[in-house]
């Protein structure tokens, strides 16, 4: 189902209180990293980044002082002093290169450490207890979680460190060069109505006024960019997801000749990308027009203001140039919002997307609603007590069912395929909507096989043994399992790496699922349409294999009447609701 991404991401204009609220939420969001594993290493990196930032400002102060001595030497035509300044500049250049290079290295180590921690933290919640599946069943601002984890977390952590260091640098720069500029400006006397008023540090006031006007205009120019950046990221993620899904189901699309429909769908997603791109372009153009004029004017402006004092002989050429540079440093520090507006907008959009995903995962239990099927583990039986599967809106899909399945039984669940499939999901704890109670055996080793088993891209041996966390499989056992399920042609090729969903037919994939059952020696096996791609002879073959290899296992199969004739001992009928949607 397609969502109106523009409507989802359009936001009202934000006020100061809302910005402060966001910063506070980000601080709470970021704090756990600094108390997590390796906290002292990361705190040390942060302290080193701060110290190197101080060193960067010190280099700028040295260059500012050097420029005064250089231009004074030029004005005096003093060759020896000029040559001394060349040596001084070489030393300052080496110091600048060393400080900036080390700062970049340490900063990037800190950024990646933060990204890895945040990614692992998010993955540990998302990829646990089926939450990645359940999250896709509910509405909310958590679409494209893969893009948020892969891209938005990267932007969140990298930009936070970059912007934080840049802000700290600008604060130090401002504090340092305001003092320099105040001292160099001296005192000017302005006559107003016959009264002479002394104004010390006049260039400082001009710098602040210049920056205030520029910042105000820049913020006005950049207002549309935050929402546009958020929209752009969302529509780009939707387009990537659509392309990935088309690639994933390329064979099915080709067989049903759905190329034209899929192309139309992808082109519609591309039109959404265009709308997001145009909105962001409009915001960027507004900012670029202003910042270009602002930056061009910033260079000559202090010289034009201070030049009359030099012409009148009140200051030297070196002082004039030093004053102009100090003015530029002050305005550069004050223009932090202007220079970083687009970066801040992109960073904020990513932070909000990551926090929205974490909020959705944290509140998943509440969002799943009150109509819940209780799933517990106790005893030795599988018990269904008044179980009734429902839709998200509490519309019932089936009549209540109550049953007991003992160890070693072979039971067929017959009924509407979709309803029976959701019943299996409910037993597994993945479909919570409904009523009643499911009791699973306390120590059961459960394996649920579906009609399309998941086949990760990787070596064949790992694919057959998947999930590896259930046990370590020996190569001889894997080869033996492949032969017993009718995939003997792949035995001995366990190191072969392929995209197995495209290499193996659906019937072969289902046979591979039975190989997994043999390897993991499950004692409770659920077959959710797990043999629907096999002919009757192959289905009987798989049933006989389970009896021979796992004679004491309980098998619960979903399918039509007649499936596994002679294998199942009884049939449970699931009665669907007539008004089911």
pLDDT at 15: 64
Rounded distance, CA 89 to CA 83, Å?
10
- The answer on 491 and 356 residing in a single domain is no
Within a domain: residue 3? no
Within a domain: residue 566? yes
- The answer on 317 and 246 residing in a single domain is yes
Neighbours of 263 (CB within 10 A): 12
pLDDT at 5: 39
pLDDT greater than 60 at residue 488: yes
Query: Last residue of a domain, which of 305, 336, 367?
Result: 367
* pLDDT tens string 375-401: 888 888 888 898 998 887 778 888 888
Quickly list H helices, 34-127: 39-76, 79-126
- The CATH number of whichever domain residue 192 belongs to comes to 1.20.1560.10
pLDDT band at 314; cut points 50, 70, 90: confident
Most confident of 273-282, 406-415, 552-561: 406-415
- The answer on 227 and 100 residing in a single domain is yes
Query: Last residue of a domain, which of 352, 367, 382?
Result: 367
* pLDDT tens string 475-484: 899 999 999 9
Most confident of 69-78, 81-90, 193-202, 568-577: 81-90
- The answer on 149 and 37 residing in a single domain is yes
pLDDT at 580: 42
Which long-range contacts (C-beta less than 8 Å, at least 24 apart) are formed by 177-185?
177/60, 177/61, 177/64, 177/326, 177/329, 177/330, 177/333, 178/204, 178/330, 180/61, 180/64, 180/322, 180/326, 181/207, 181/323, 181/326, 181/327, 181/330, 184/315, 184/319, 184/322, 184/323, 184/326, 185/323
- The answer on 452 and 319 residing in a single domain is no
Query: Last residue of a domain, which of 367, 389, 409?
Result: 367
- The answer on 327 and 394 residing in a single domain is no
Q: What is the DSSP string of 509-523?
A: HHHHHHHHHHHHT-S
pLDDT at 242: 85
Least confident of 36-45, 136-145, 277-286, 525-534: 136-145
- The answer on 416 and 505 residing in a single domain is yes
* pLDDT tens string 81-103: 889 889 999 999 999 999 999 99
Q: Please, is 267 exposed, middle or buried when counting C-beta atoms within 10 Å of its C-beta (0-12, 13-18, 19+)? A: exposed
Least confident of 151-155, 358-362, 499-503, 511-515: 358-362
pLDDT at 167: 93
Q: Report the first-to-last Cα separation within the chain, whole angstroms.
A: 16
pLDDT at 529: 84
pLDDT at 210: 83
- Written as six digits, the tokens of 578 are 């007539």
pLDDT band at 1; cut points 50, 70, 90: very low
Most confident of 108-112, 329-333, 430-434: 108-112
pLDDT greater than 60 at residue 456: yes
Q: Name the 3-class secondary structure at 78.
A: coil
- The answer on 328 and 468 residing in a single domain is no
Using alpha carbons only, give the angle 329, 335, 341 rounded to the nearest 5 degrees.
145
Average pLDDT score over residue span 91-119: 94
* Counted domains in the chain: 2
Rounded to the nearest integer, the mean pLDDT of the chain is: 83
* pLDDT tens string 462-471: 899 888 755 5
Give residue 485's domain range: 374-573
Percent of the chain, pLDDT > 70? 91
Global pTM reads 0.68
């Amino acid at each position: 189902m397609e969502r109106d991404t523009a409507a989802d991401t359009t936001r009202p204009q934000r006020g100061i209180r809302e910005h402060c609220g966001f910063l506070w939420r980000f601080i709470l969001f970021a704090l756990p990293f600094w108390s997590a594993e390796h906290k002292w290493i990361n705190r040390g990196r942060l302290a080193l980044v701060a110290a190197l930032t101080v060193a960067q400002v010190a280099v700028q102060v040295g260059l500012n002082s050097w420029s005064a001595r250089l231009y004074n030497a030029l004005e005096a035509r003093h060759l020896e002093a000029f040559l001394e300044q060349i040596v001084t500049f070489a030393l300052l250049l080496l110091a600048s290169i060393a400080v900036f290079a080390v700062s970049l290295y340490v900063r990037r180590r800190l950024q990646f450490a933060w990204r890895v921690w945040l990614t692992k933290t998010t993955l540990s919640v998302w990829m646990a207890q089926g939450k990645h599946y359940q999250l896709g069943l509910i509405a909310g601002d958590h679409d494209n979680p893969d893009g948020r984890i892969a891209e938005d977390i990267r932007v969140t952590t990298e930009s936070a460190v970059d912007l934080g260091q840049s802000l700290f640098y600008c604060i130090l720069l401002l504090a340092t060069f305001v003092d320099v500029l105040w001292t160099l400006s001296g005192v000017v006397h302005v006559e107003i109505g016959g009264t002479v008023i002394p104004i010390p540090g006049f260039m400082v006031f001009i710098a602040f006024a210049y920056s205030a006007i520029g910042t105000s205009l820049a913020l006005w120019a950049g207002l549309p960019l935050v929402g546009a950046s958020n929209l752009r990221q969302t529509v780009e993620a939707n387009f990537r997801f659509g392309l990935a899904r088309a690639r994933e189901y390329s064979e099915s699309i080709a067989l049903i000749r759905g190329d034209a429909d899929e192309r139309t769908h992808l082109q519609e997603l591309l039109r959404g990308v265009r709308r997001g791109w145009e909105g962001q372009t409009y915001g960027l153009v507004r900012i670029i027009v202003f910042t270009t004029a602002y930056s061009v004017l910033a260079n000559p402006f202090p010289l034009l203001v201070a030049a009359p004092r030099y012409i009148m002989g009140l200051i030297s050429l070196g002082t004039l140039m030093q004053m102009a540079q100090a003015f530029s440093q002050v305005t550069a520090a004050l223009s932090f919002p202007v220079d970083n507006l687009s970066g801040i907008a992109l960073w904020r959009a990513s932070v909000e997307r990551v926090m929205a995903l974490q909020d959705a995962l944290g509140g998943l239990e509440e969002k799943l609603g009150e109509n819940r099927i209780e799933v517990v583990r106790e005893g030795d039986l599988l018990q269904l007590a008044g179980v009734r599967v429902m839709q998200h809106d509490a519309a019932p899909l089936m009549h209540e069912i109550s049953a007991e399945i003992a160890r070693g039984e072979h039971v067929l669940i017959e009924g509407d395929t979709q309803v029976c499939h959701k019943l299996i999901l409910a037993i597994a704890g993945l479909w919570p909507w409904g009523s009643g109670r499911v009791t699973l055996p306390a120590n059961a080793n459960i394996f649920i096989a579906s009609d399309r088993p998941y086949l990760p891209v990787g070596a064949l041996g790992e694919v057959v043994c998947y999930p590896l966390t259930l046990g370590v499989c020996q190569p001889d056992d894997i080869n033996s399992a492949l032969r017993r399920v009718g995939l003997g042609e792949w035995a001995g090729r366990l190191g072969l790496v392929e995209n197995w969903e495209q290499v193996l037919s659906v019937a072969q994939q289902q046979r591979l699922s039975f190989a997994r059952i043999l390897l993991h020696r499950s004692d409770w096996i659920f077959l959710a349409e797990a043999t629907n791609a096999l002919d009757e002879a192959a289905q009987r073959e798989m049933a006989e294999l389970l009896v021979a290899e796992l004679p004491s296992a309980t098998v619960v199969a979903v399918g039509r009447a007649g499936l596994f004739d002679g294998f199942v001992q009884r049939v449970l009928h699931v009665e669907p609701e007539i008004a089911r949607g």
